[in-house]
Amino acid sequence: MAPEPAQHSGPADPATVWAGDARPHPALRDRPAFQRCADVPFAEFADRYWGRRPLLCRPPGGFADLFALDAVDVLLSERGLRTPFLRVAHDGTVLPATRFTGSGGAGAEIADQVLDEKVLALLCDGATLVLQGLHRTWAPVSAFAAALRADLGHPVQVNAYVTPAGNRGFATHYDTHDVFVLQVAGRKRWRIHEPVMVDPLERQPWGGRADEVTAAATGEPAIDAVFAPGDALYLPRGWLHSAEAVGELSVHLTIGVRTVTRYSLVEELLGLAVGAPEVRAALPLGVDVADPDEVRPELDATIAALRDWLSTVDATEVADRLRARFWAADRPAPIRPLAQAAFLSTLDADSVVTVRPGLHWRLLPIAGDRVELQAFDRTLTMPAGCAPALRWLLGGKPRRIGDAPGFDEPADALVLARRLVREAILVAG
């Protein structure tokens, strides 16, 4: 499994289901968010690198608009961060939060607020700062993460790593999710080794294979390179890595891709299997579960029953379970509640709206001449006559409310739009 050498260079039938995520398909966009992380075409990346091998490259444009040193200072000193939005590590050990948090001061009534003077002391001692969940705390990163998620089809998270010169926060390890590394400031030397375990799941962290990881890290690295601002790395889950700041303070973004795996499908199938009586059947009385000879016939019977049941599973049921599981953890772009409320108060037929950026949604018919609009955290039920207007309003382009199809009176479209704005489905266009 040799890595690439380091280099620097539709919806379904609307009569049944209509779905979207408020962004055009990647093939329709000239420069998707993905292209900020890699300098190869999306199709080539999918075929040659995704889940297979690292890619070190230098995409055009750099990352200064996403994050910078000043952003680190703003977050640490002005935003009232609390744990777990900051984690601190030193010499491979994660420090207790009490080392860098305390009272927020008079009126705050908060005991675990990040204290900038404590952070300063730890930074001067060589500690690495990890700003976690940056896609929730820094607007440019939030917008970028939502766009990248739409490109990849998998949930993403973003952390920033701030490491003083000559230090590294963590020993050689592997992650249980794919990552893109974007070097923002300073330089950092990365050493990358091939996996000791291919495609580890979240339940298979590197700590359970610490001896293998340590031994593998003494061998010849697959990549040994110093990253400069603007460099980017894709690293599949399982690949061993460590990084050390060189010459000056280093800041990089790590985009974790929370990969939806085939095992995710297996987990949902197991959840559905509780509905199969033949799978729930008890083993015989008196069985010795430690005796392979007694277990074997029951195992054979269970496998046969499971095989028969699996042939009846409807993909719709599995997709519904995956939707409930992954959509809930994949929030759309933030909204401003006061601005949204003000917009709602002035809404009329001439108002222009658009679907909330990054919003997953599905529209499907249900019994009783109704339709159901499913979003990441809520389900709305409406008359079936609203379906044409819903599909049009959620189509991803700014729309004038009074032009919504399917209504005899503009006032009816306004009623629908008001509900969707109140429910944070639509925003000002």
State pLDDT tens for residues 298-318: 999 999 999 999 999 999 999
Per-residue pLDDT band at 17 (split at 50, 70, 90): low
Q: Which helix (H) or strand (E) holds 325?
A: helix 315-327
pLDDT of residue 285: 94
Per-residue pLDDT band at 40 (split at 50, 70, 90): very high
pLDDT of residue 31: 57
pLDDT tens per residue across span 203-220: 999 888 999 999 999 999
State the average pLDDT over residues 151-180. Answer: 92
Q: Is the pLDDT of residue 9 over 90?
A: no
Query: Which structure tokens are listed for 254?
Result: 């790590």
- As a whole number, the mean pLDDT across the chain is 89
Q: Is the pLDDT of residue 65 over 60?
A: yes
pLDDT tens per residue across span 105-133: 877 778 889 999 999 999 999 999 999 99
State the average pLDDT over residues 142-154. Answer: 90
pLDDT of residue 16: 43
Contact yes or no for 292/300 (Cβ under 8 A):
no
In degrees and rounded to multiples of 5, residue 329 shows phi and psi of: -95, 5
pLDDT of residue 21: 52
pLDDT of residue 381: 95
State the average pLDDT over residues 381-393. Answer: 94
Cα gap 177→78, rounded to integer Å: 31
In degrees and rounded to multiples of 5, residue 36 shows phi and psi of: -80, -15
Per-residue pLDDT band at 6 (split at 50, 70, 90): very low
